[in-house]
Structure 1
Amino acid sequence: MSKPLDIASLIDREAVGFHQWLVFLLCFATTLFDGFDTQAIAYTGPAIISAFGLAPGGLAPILTAGVVGMTIGAMTLGLVGDRIGRRPALLGGVALFSVASLATACATSTDQILALRFAAGLGMGGCTPVLLALAAEYGPARHRGAIMTGVLLGLPAGAMLGALLAARMMPAIGWQGIFVVGGALPLGLLVVLCFALPESLQFLAARTRAEDVRRVHAILRRMLGAALPDDARFHVSEATVRASVSELFRNGNTRNTVAIWAVYLFNWVAWFMFLSWLPTVLKTAGLSVTLAPMGTVTVNAVFIACAIPLSMLLRKVDTRHLLVGLLLLGIAIAIGLANAGTAWSLVFVLAGAAGLGIGGQQIALNYLVVTAYPTSLRATATGWAIGMGRVGAIAGSAVGGTVLAAGGPAGFYLALAVPLAAALLGVLAIRPGRYAIDPGLAPSAH
């Protein structure tokens, strides 16, 4: 009988082929439509307020319902992906947010829109941890950080695409038309996914059932372009456990799980507090209402520009050390903004730098969490970490106005240093050498 083949090692030593690129492209397309649908309510919000005669704050429950749905979806669909497979979980998530978006176009009350945005949020939030795990498992370790970052860039790209389409199309097709587009396009993608998206090789190999072994054979034949011995056996170089949230706190994982959750929570508090309130803060400080939104544009532009170069560092440095550097940079930026006053050139330079110093932390965190757990827990761990982050996003968006009212622009900027300092403590609490459980996935540390 032939010696068992290690799936991770096999992927690592082969060049990235067409079928792997297809997986990455399908994951990117999913995040692209996810990003479009996530922001659809923002594009259509003013029109919905007008159509239903809402007060300006009447949209808040609908916005909150979507974020709550995304939080729950990230925490639950990731577990489903570890239990029954990445492929069915991802197909289910895409189907859910596609149908919910289409149904939103037919809504006749704000209560219906609220319920449908919650349902769409479940699907959108749940897709992210599943496709991150799938992309990571099809990518060789040497390129994994760049692959994951490239896939996730679909989220801001989809958001920007949606903004451009809404500006040009909504006068002609109304707010309902935006949701028709946001539902119909991912439904078309769903058909492609059904035929073209494979299951995770590591997930199949870890289950060891005869049917799963045959599927591994078939996928590897397509990937490698060569037949494997009929008696070839496969294994994954990690312990296999039944996916559950409680497993994240066993086998010595408790400290790292708590620390990673804390870092996600506080990073997202700072990031979303900053992004959500920056235009208002700039306007309060004296910038014109037409220029204030350019602050957010600057932050996102720098984030996107830095994403791929930053991801290329992930295999070359200890991820914890990189996070420490980014967190210290973020704290320095917060202090600098607090003292910049109305020196607008400096304010915009520092705001752009926050795209790296604060936003860049998310790139490192996403790489850290998928390399911190075995295949059988990867989507669950990623989903719960992102779920904790979304809790932080809700908190950061909610408290930003209160902080601004109490401390003014300078106090607002300075307050950003508080969650960043808390996140720094979380990174320092991560046990060295424990966060790379799977040797085939671990980043090299220097």
Structure 2
Amino acid sequence: MTAPQSRRWLAILCFLIVVFEGYDIVALGATIPVLTDPAIGGFSVDEMNIVNTVSLVGVGLGAASMGRIADRFGRRAPLLVAVAVFSVFTLAFPLMPDATLMGLTRFVAGLGLGGCMPVALAMMQEAAPVGRRALANNIPMIGYHLGAVLASLAGRFAGAEWSLLYYLGGGLGLVLLVLLWIGLPETAPADERARAPKTSLADVLRPRYLRSSIGLWVAAFMGLVLVYGLNAWLPKIMGAAGYPVADSLIMLFVLNLGAIAGLVISAFAADARGIKGVAMIWFAAAAALLVVLSIPFDAQVALTAAIFITGVFVFSAQTLMYAFAGHVYPRNLVATGIGLTSGIGRFGAIIGPWATGVMVAAGTAYPGAFYLYAGAAVLAVLAVAQIPNPKKAASVDA
């Protein structure tokens, strides 16, 4: 297999890996209404909120730990283990008899799921041609949105048979595991790892990387406050603003269409103009557009356009932090760096929806939530601004 063919095959496999993250997050959201229906699941809302939160904690811990393991033992084996754990425990989830065991199962599945993405992105960046690292990082992230769409469609089809979503996700995960076993290359060969200086988790806090690490963590945290807060609550927020419920659901779809466009546009911009400046522009534009959304729109076309453009900037701004990590850390530390950026950022994915939910309950989500998100985006701009400008040469080639 030639180098371009190998890169294409790796890109396909990593794309499919990220699809499962989007699928998994939306699958639980799609089944919670059924699980809390007294006539079907019979669980309380509080029980399912705990299950969802525990799942996200597992994803964060998995992301933070698996990157370190991948830098120590190579990319291929940890990724195979992560996919296997996610698939098996996703299949087991519908079989659990109570909320406690469901939460435990989701936590372990989250460990596997969270461990997949940083390793996959590290492999993509390592295999990318010179000057195309941001594109290699962002294209697989489109899979997240594809997975979300697939889960929402599967949820509508399954209806009360909610367990089908997990059998489908876990079963396809096992199919992917076979494909990975057959065709996944090792992008960090053993002889190269043996020659590389030994690293530890604490290395990301050495003076050389300290400012960069803190900046990436804060920006990723703030970015996921936006992403998960909007994905979880946008229909409710816009409904509170007086827009029809059907239009609010369409707004969420349009927001994610903008996200897909933004992933491509931001990647080309970052590769051409430099990732730090583009990341700052993207977060700043997100802040401004979120404030714009707090203003009532009379024309539906204008509102739809504003939401689409907001999606272009909000989602890809956070994703650029993973590509940025590839510029900051050397090859023997890059999976650790991406993993910690993803893992710490995941707690923003918990805080964002929680804070928005509090505002919804208090009746202040419109326009208050948009100001909360805009403030988070401004903090992300400041966090990125203090990161030293990365060298033009690719750090993972170091």
TM-score, with structure 2 as normaliser: 0.93
Identify the match of residue 114 of structure 1 among 103, 113, 123: 103
Identify the match of residue 154 of structure 1 among 143, 149, 166: 143
Matched residue SS, 1:142: coil
Could you give the per-residue CA deviations for residues 29-61 of structure 1, whole angstroms, max 9, x where no partner exists?
222233223322122222222333123343101
Residues 221, 347 of structure 2: 8 Å contact kept? yes
Matched, 1:38 2:25: yes
Matched residue SS, 1:359: helix
Identify the match of residue 417 of structure 1 among 374, 393, 397: 374
Counterparts of 2:107 and 2:396 in 1: how far apart (Å)? 39
Residues 259, 430 of structure 1: 8 Å contact kept? yes
Matched, 1:98 2:87: yes
Counterparts of 2:391 and 2:143 in 1: how far apart (Å)? 31
- Which residue in 1 is equivalent to 2:199? 243
Matched, 1:261 2:250: no
Equivalent residues in 2 for 1:20-31, closer than 5 Å: 20-31=7-18
Identify the match of residue 63 of structure 2 among 74, 92, 108: 74
State the 1:309 CA deviation.
Answer: 2.8
Counterparts of 2:281 and 2:241 in 1: how far apart (Å)? 29
Counterparts of 1:291 and 1:203 in 2: how far apart (Å)? 54
Letter in 2 for 1:264: A
Q: How has the CA–CA distance of structure 1 residues 417 and 309 changed in structure 2, closer, same or farther, with 3 Å as cutoff?
A: closer
Matched, 1:166 2:155: yes
Counterparts of 2:318 and 2:206 in 1: how far apart (Å)? 25
State the 1:398 CA deviation.
Answer: 0.7
Q: How has the CA–CA distance of structure 1 residues 203 and 141 changed in structure 2, closer, same or farther, with 3 Å as cutoff?
A: farther
Counterparts of 2:140 and 2:227 in 1: how far apart (Å)? 20
Identify the match of residue 198 of structure 1 among 185, 188, 206: 185
Equivalent residues in 2 for 1:338-357, closer than 5 Å: 338-340=294-296, 343-357=299-313
Residues 86, 130 of structure 1: 8 Å contact kept? yes
Q: How has the CA–CA distance of structure 1 residues 376 and 440 changed in structure 2, closer, same or farther, with 3 Å as cutoff?
A: closer
- Which residue in 1 is equivalent to 2:163? 176
Residues 104, 116 of structure 1: 8 Å contact kept? yes
Counterparts of 2:193 and 2:323 in 1: how far apart (Å)? 22
Counterparts of 1:52 and 1:319 in 2: how far apart (Å)? 47
- Which residue in 1 is equivalent to 2:257? 301
Cα-Cα RMSD: 2.2
Letter in 1 for 2:20: F
Matched residue SS, 1:52: coil
Counterparts of 2:146 and 2:169 in 1: how far apart (Å)? 14
- Which residue in 2 is equivalent to 1:334? 290
- Which residue in 1 is equivalent to 2:238? 282
Residues 135, 268 of structure 2: 8 Å contact kept? yes
State the 1:416 CA deviation.
Answer: 1.9
Q: How has the CA–CA distance of structure 1 residues 434 and 254 changed in structure 2, closer, same or farther, with 3 Å as cutoff?
A: farther
Counterparts of 2:396 and 2:367 in 1: how far apart (Å)? 46
Identify the match of residue 326 of structure 2 among 370, 381, 387: 370
Q: How has the CA–CA distance of structure 1 residues 407 and 245 changed in structure 2, closer, same or farther, with 3 Å as cutoff?
A: same
Counterparts of 1:433 and 1:302 in 2: how far apart (Å)? 28
- Structure number having the greater helix percentage: 2
- Which residue in 2 is equivalent to 1:55? 44
Letter in 2 for 1:123: G
Q: Where in structure 1 do 4 or more consecutive aligned residues deviate above 6 Å?
A: none
Matched, 1:137 2:97: no
Residues 256, 435 of structure 1: 8 Å contact kept? no
Q: How has the CA–CA distance of structure 1 residues 243 and 421 changed in structure 2, closer, same or farther, with 3 Å as cutoff?
A: same
Identify the match of residue 6 of structure 2 among 19, 30, 42: 19
Counterparts of 1:46 and 1:412 in 2: how far apart (Å)? 23
Percent identity, aligned pairs only, is: 26
State the 1:267 CA deviation.
Answer: 1.7
Residues 137, 202 of structure 1: 8 Å contact kept? no
- Which residue in 2 is equivalent to 1:233? none
Q: How has the CA–CA distance of structure 1 residues 326 and 111 changed in structure 2, closer, same or farther, with 3 Å as cutoff?
A: same
Counterparts of 1:262 and 1:177 in 2: how far apart (Å)? 37
Aligned residues: 395
Matched, 1:127 2:116: yes
Q: How has the CA–CA distance of structure 1 residues 271 and 85 changed in structure 2, closer, same or farther, with 3 Å as cutoff?
A: same
Counterparts of 2:29 and 2:141 in 1: how far apart (Å)? 20
Unpaired runs of at least 5, structure 1: 1-14, 209-239, 442-446
Q: How has the CA–CA distance of structure 1 residues 439 and 116 changed in structure 2, closer, same or farther, with 3 Å as cutoff?
A: closer
Could you give the per-residue CA deviations for residues 271-328 of structure 1, whole angstroms, max 9, x where no partner exists?
3222222111111011122221112111101111232232122221121111121122
Matched, 1:361 2:348: no
Q: How has the CA–CA distance of structure 1 residues 201 and 310 changed in structure 2, closer, same or farther, with 3 Å as cutoff?
A: same
Residues 94, 127 of structure 1: 8 Å contact kept? yes
Q: How has the CA–CA distance of structure 1 residues 204 and 291 changed in structure 2, closer, same or farther, with 3 Å as cutoff?
A: farther
Residues 34, 124 of structure 1: 8 Å contact kept? yes
Counterparts of 2:392 and 2:58 in 1: how far apart (Å)? 29
Unpaired runs of at least 5, structure 2: none
Letter in 2 for 1:21: R
